[in-house]
Amino acid sequence: MISYKLPDSVKIVLNRLETEGFEAFVVGGFVRDLLLNRETHDCDVTTNARPHEIEHVFLDYKQSHIGKDHGTVGVKVNGEWIEITTYRVDEASLDHRRPQAVRFSTHLKEDVMRRDFTMNALAMDGSGALIDFVGGQEDIRSKVIRCVGDPHLRFDEDALRILRALRFAAQLNFKIDEKSITAMRTHAHLLSGLAVERVFQELQLMFGAKHASLAFEYGQDILRHVIEMKQLSPIEIELLDRFEDVRSKWVICFLTKPVDELRSQLARLKAPKRFIQDCAQLHTVFHHRFTKDDYAMKWMMHQYPSLILQLSMDLKRKLQDPNYDEDAHQLLNRLMDENACVHIKDLDLNGHDLMEYQIKGKQIQNLLEKALDGVMRNQVENSKKALLAWLNLTS
């Protein structure tokens, strides 16, 4: 039997609970990632100890009681927060997200059977030995996402699990078993009732995953319940994995739609304002026709962040956009490498320099803008002496 090495902080928690006469196991994603040799952070422990007993066992540790009503006590060990939760059974959900109430249990198996997917329903004791009631080890070996028990019940209990299944497929490069994907489609309409912040969080993790295309292969019809996006072609879906930047993937989903639709969808999902702005700018710049015109490229660099321009060029090239111009792309790269002067702050001349010539107020801004335009058009060298002469301020 394979035995896995647990972090010292986890061992301390398990050993202390066991010393006090309780059962204790690591559960959930921590165990899954340990088996997959993936970097893992959050650690959840389950035990037959009741919340007040957990508090007593760890009296000498800093504690968090935010989830105490649902049986969870957080304990800080060696600088890490570990959530310790009493075995429980969830009562039926009315909002398809959270149970009406929880009932504490004395059996590990009852606690495991309430979980979402078999790969997340494994338990591990302090020695590193696995306890598997649901075939989770085999599903991990086979790279399959399968619901624990009846998939229709699992998704009716918590509709967010539908997005989690797609996200896990994208992150782990796993397939979703047929019964689960069928149930996901049956219950997809429940997604509209979820908190948009949680939906956006799952979508970001999904888009940011290495195999984001899998989420769309399995669930493009499902995702349309939360994003009013364009229908992606098989080629576009495949191309999603060629982009690392999440903003590019969002723009691909809205390429044939007005930028205002992309902006309103992200706003509805309560995305950060900066993220909305970046995506909208990328969408706009993608539809700009770049040419090998030095001044025109500098003007684009003046209007938009360099990263957005580079992402746009990369998007055009990989999507084989007919308006993609390799010469224009090379020009952009050269100007960026040369740190081309495209903003007033890049000038070797500033307002204090102009004030020495008794220039004040709006005239300062006007002259700096004129100087910038002259530099961008290659009409004058970007040096204080040359600029002052060009502005007729020196004899």
User: Which of 4-13, 268-277, 291-300 has the least mean pLDDT?
Assistant: 4-13
| 109-165 pLDDT, tens digit each | 999 999 999 999 999 998 889 999 999 999 999 999 999 999 999 999 999 999 999
The predicted pLDDT at position 100 comes to 61
Average pLDDT for residues 266-284, to the nearest whole number? 97
Residues 98 and 29 in one domain: yes
- Asked whether residue 25 falls in the same domain as residue 116, the answer is yes
The pLDDT value given to residue 109 = 95
Place of tokens 């982009």: 243
Contact 187/155 with Cβ under 8 angstroms?
A: yes
Q: What's phi and psi for 120, nearest 5 deg? A: -100, 5
Q: What contacts 178, CB < 8 A, 6 or more positions away?
A: none
Same-domain status, 257 and 334 = yes
Whether residues 204 and 270 fall in one domain:
no
Residue 32 within a domain: yes
Average pLDDT over residues 240-266: 94
Give the pLDDT band of residue 297 (cuts 50, 70, 90).
very high
Specify the DSSP class assigned to residue 41: -
209 within some domain: yes
Is 274 part of a structural domain of the chain? Answer: yes
Answer yes or no: do 11 and 46 share one domain. yes
84's enclosing H/E stretch is strand 80-86
For residue 375, give Cα distances in angstroms to 162, 357, 371, 378.
Answer: 55, 21, 6, 5
* Tokens describing residue 319: 């999507």
Distant-in-sequence, close-in-space partners of 70: CB < 8 Å, separation ≥ 6: 85, 88, 102
Mean pLDDT on 317-337: 94
Q: Quick one: pLDDT at residue 99? A: 61
Across residues 1-19, what is the average pLDDT? 86
Question: Which tens digits make up the pLDDT trace of 219-248?
Answer: 999 999 999 888 898 888 998 999 999 999
pLDDT value of position 394 = 78
CATH number, domain with residue 68: 3.30.460.10
Q: Which amino acid is at 81?
A: W
Q: Are 76 and 58 in contact (CB under 8 A)?
A: no
- Give yes or no for residue 97 having a pLDDT over 60: no
Q: What is the number of domains present in the chain?
A: 4
User: What's the whole-number mean pLDDT along residues 364-383?
Assistant: 96
- The pLDDT of 290-309, averaged and rounded, is 95
Most confident of 56-65, 239-248, 251-260, 270-279: 270-279
pLDDT surpasses 90 at 69 = no
Q: What is the pLDDT of residue 318?
A: 92
Judge if 2 and 95 occupy the same domain.
Answer: yes
* Full residue range of the structural domain in which residue 128 is found: 1-136
**Residue 197 exposed, middle or buried by CB count within 10 Å (0-12, 13-18, 19+):** exposed
Question: Does residue 130 lie within any of the structural domains?
Answer: yes
Both tokens assigned to 248 = 């590019």
**16 and 106 inside one domain:** yes
158/187 same-domain check: yes
Mean pLDDT value of segment 294-318? 95
Alpha-helical runs (H) found in the chain: 8-19, 29-35, 51-57, 108-112, 136-141, 151-157, 160-172, 178-186, 196-207, 212-223, 234-239, 246-252, 259-268, 273-286, 294-303, 306-318, 326-337, 351-355, 362-376, 384-390
- CATH number for position 185: 1.10.110.30
Whether the pLDDT of residue 101 is over 80: the answer is: no
How far apart, in whole angstroms, are the C-alpha atoms of residue 89 and residue 108?
Answer: 10
In a domain, 219, yes or no: yes
20 versus 39: the higher-pLDDT residue is 20
Supply the pLDDT for residue 43.
Answer: 86
Domain boundary pick from 226, 244, 262: 226
Measured N-to-C along each axis, helices 306-318 and 294-303 cross at an angle, to the nearest 10 degrees, of: 120
Residue 163 and residue 55 in one domain: no
Q: Is 395 inside any structural domain?
A: no
Residue 22 three-state SS: coil
Given this model, what pLDDT does residue 1 score?
A: 52
Last-in-domain residue among 195, 226, 257: 226
Specify the higher pLDDT residue, 41 or 369. 369
- For residue range 174-190, list pLDDT tens digits in order: 999 999 999 999 999 99
Mean pLDDT of the chain: 92
Residue ranges of the alpha helices (H) in 20-174?
Answer: 29-35, 51-57, 108-112, 136-141, 151-157, 160-172
Query: Does 123 lie in the same domain as 16?
Result: yes
Domain ends where: 136, 166, 183? Answer: 136
Spatial distance between the Cα atoms of 96 and 61, rounded to a whole number of angstroms: 35
Instruction: Kindly state whether residues 11 and 69 are assigned to the same domain.
Output: yes
Confidence of residue 96 (pLDDT cuts 50, 70, 90): low
Question: 130-131 and 123-124: which strand pairing?
Answer: antiparallel
Please check the confidence at residue 102 and state whether its pLDDT lies above 80.
no
Is-contact 287 254, C-beta < 8 A? no
Two structure tokens written together for 72:
């969870």
Domain co-membership, 210 together with 191: yes
